[in-house]
Amino acid sequence: MIDFSLSEEQKQLQDLSKEFTNNEIKPVAAEYDRKSEFAHEVIKKAWELGLMNVQIPEKFGGMGLSVLDDCIIGEELSVGCSGISTSMMSNMLAQGPLIVAANDAQNKKFLGQMVEECAFCAYAVTEPDAGSDVAGIKSTAQKVGNDYVLNGQKMWITNAAQAKWFFVLAYTDQNAGYKGMTGFVVPADLPGITIGKHEHKLGQRSSDTRGVTFDDVKLSAENRLGNEGDGWKIAMSAFDHSRPGVAAGAVGLARRAMEESIMYASERKTFGVPIAKHQAVSFMIADMAMNVDAARHLVYKSAWKTDKGERNTIEAAFAKAFAADTAMKVATDAVQVFGGYGYSAEYPVEKLMRDAKIFQIYEGTSQIQRVIIARELFRRQ
Ligand SMILES: Cc1cc2nc3c(=O)[nH]c(=O)nc-3n(C[C@H](O)[C@H](O)[C@H](O)COP(=O)(O)OP(=O)(O)OC[C@H]3O[C@@H](n4cnc5c(N)ncnc54)[C@H](O)[C@@H]3O)c2cc1C
């Protein structure tokens, strides 16, 4: 049986997120972007309303909502500003490895903190010489007795300066390939951690992106997630939970670009008629609607599958690649619909186009999603 309707609770969640976006995010998004400033106040209000960290299990004080619920929220917030929603949703990316692999004591301590206060965490995997090629990381956690000494340099880490703790992937055995990688939860206030400068980015400027250096950081076995050698599996399975949410953010951005295009095309006149009456323009907008809807269906299916406890690797890759490519195309076409005004920061579509690009890069590029899809297809032969 297929049922495309949302539950009453999901509709309420959607309405709450929509209202929050209209009242709290849309009015300030351009200003935070202009100043490249982290939107602390906005995000604290969202946390108070229960729009953050929603997948933390009830057992650890969280709401225990589903991946699909998270996607519904993520789409709405991203309609307002995907820079602000990325700051919020990145918590989920870092929490994913704990939800997948941490023991109760670790979850109580590190996830519990996110329930008690509006706090942030960060997923620290990428390095200067290794992004797509995760196995190329150089960070090491050398075992000394029962403890570990962490060394390495991470790059492009969202929420780095805000984080109370990091999920860090490092080699405990460099001779064992990806099976030599181990995941750690690392409190941000440990000696030996240096947070880098704020990166000035093309888009999503209000999100905080920096490098993080670990220099002889002492960790105990209590900081290790799962067993030695489990790191790769943990880091990758977290993506199955987080990618639908990232893709939902791309859908939200694309929907906003489409909505702005519809409003503008209805008002702007050329040759005596609204530009919506020119088929070249209205067809561009028809394509936007078709692709936004298709992207949302892929998002919902990938979320639904993981919520059922099934492996969603290929569906999450479909959703992430298609929604990211859709966001870029729709935002670019929206600038076209606006003509010269679309190129000006006075109108929202210029920011949407800048913000859209990163969806094709972070959490696995659009090319890497296709690598995953192809691998999954051929693995099934
Ligand atoms: C704003 C921002 C926020 C980020 N947040 C985080 C974060 O919170 N945590 C984190 O760990 N990382 C984060 N990242 C890093 C991000 O995930 C990486 O930038 C991304 O995975 C790509 O890696 P790279 O930049 O090293 O590019 P590369 O891996 O060097 O790729 C360069 C180009 O080559 C292509 N390419 C590479 N390999 C292949 C292949 N096998 N087949 C086809 N094409 C290929 C890529 O698609 C890309 O187009 C963030 C990055 C940015 C810019």
pLDDT tens, residue by residue, 215-236 = 999 999 999 999 999 999 999 8
In which band, very low, low, confident or very high, does the pLDDT at 107 lie, cut at 50, 70 and 90?
very high
Read off the pTM. 0.97
| Cα–Cα distance measured from residue 178 to residue 231, given in angstroms and rounded to the nearest whole number | 8
Site to substitute for ligand 1 among 156, 169, 186, 195, most atoms within 8 A of C-beta: 156
How close is the Cα of 175 to the center of ligand 1, in Å? 24
- How many residues in total does the chain contain? 381
Q: What are the structural domain ranges in the chain? A: 8-119, 122-232, 239-379
Phi/psi of residue 130, each to 5°? -155, 110
How many angstroms separate the alpha carbon of residue 239 from the centre of ligand 1?
Answer: 14
Mean predicted confidence (pLDDT) in 229-256: 94
Cα of 360 from ligand 1 centre, angstroms:
9
On the question of a common fold for 8-119 and 122-232, the answer reads no
C-alpha distance from residue 66 to each of 54, 57, 205 (Å): 8, 10, 28
Burial of 161 per CB tally in 10 Å (0-12, 13-18, 19+): middle
Helices (H), 49-168: 67-80, 82-101, 104-116
How far apart CA 110 and CA 87 sit, in angstroms, is 18
24-62: pLDDT as tens digits = 999 999 999 999 999 999 999 999 999 999 999 999 999
Please say if 117 is a catalytic residue. Answer: no
Q: How much is the average pLDDT of 190-195?
A: 98
Counting residues of the chain whose pLDDT is more than 90, the rounded percentage is 97
Q: Is the pLDDT of residue 1 over 80?
A: no
Query: 227: how many CB neighbours lie within 10 A of its CB?
Result: 12
| Nearest CA owner, ligand 1 atom 25 | 131
Ligand 1 atom with the shortest distance to the CA of 207: 1
Architecture of domain 239-379: Up-down Bundle (1.20)
Q: Which of 85, 132, 197 to mutate to test the pocket of ligand 1 (most atoms within 8 A of CB)?
A: 132
Q: Per the CATH hierarchy, to which homologous superfamily does domain 8-119 belong?
A: Acyl-CoA dehydrogenase/oxidase, N-terminal domain (1.10.540.10)
Buried b (16+ CB within 10 A) or exposed e, 240-267: bbbbbbbbbbbbbbbbbbbbbbeebbee
Nearest to 173 by CA among 228, 97, 217, 225: 228
pLDDT at 13 > cutoff 90: yes
Q: Whose CA is nearest to atom 45 of ligand 1?
A: 367
**How many Å apart are CA 121 and CA 166, to the nearest integer?**
6
Catalytic residue among 75, 127, 350, 363: 363
Plot region of 177 (φ>0 → left; ψ -120 to 50 → alpha; else → beta): left
pLDDT score at 380: 81
- State residue 34's pLDDT score: 97
φ and ψ at 124, to 5 degrees?
-110, 90
Give the whole-angstrom CA distance, residue 214 versus residue 102: 22
Span from the CA of 65 to the centroid of ligand 1 (angstroms): 29
Identify the residues whose C-beta falls under 6 Å from ligand 1: 90, 122-126, 131-133, 156-158, 201, 209, 358, 361-365, 367-368, 371
In tens, the pLDDT along 275-321 reads 999 999 999 999 999 999 999 999 999 999 999 999 999 999 999 99
pLDDT band at 237 (very low <50, low <70, confident <90, very high): confident
**What does the pLDDT read at residue 112?**
96
Name the residue of 362, 363, 370 whose CB sits within 8 Å of the most ligand 1 atoms, as the mutation to test its pocket.
362
Measured distance CA(172)–CA(224) in Å, rounded: 11
- The CATH fold assigned to 122-232 is Butyryl-CoA Dehydrogenase, subunit A; domain 2 (2.40.110)
* CA–CA distance, 35 with 205 (Å, rounded to integer): 8
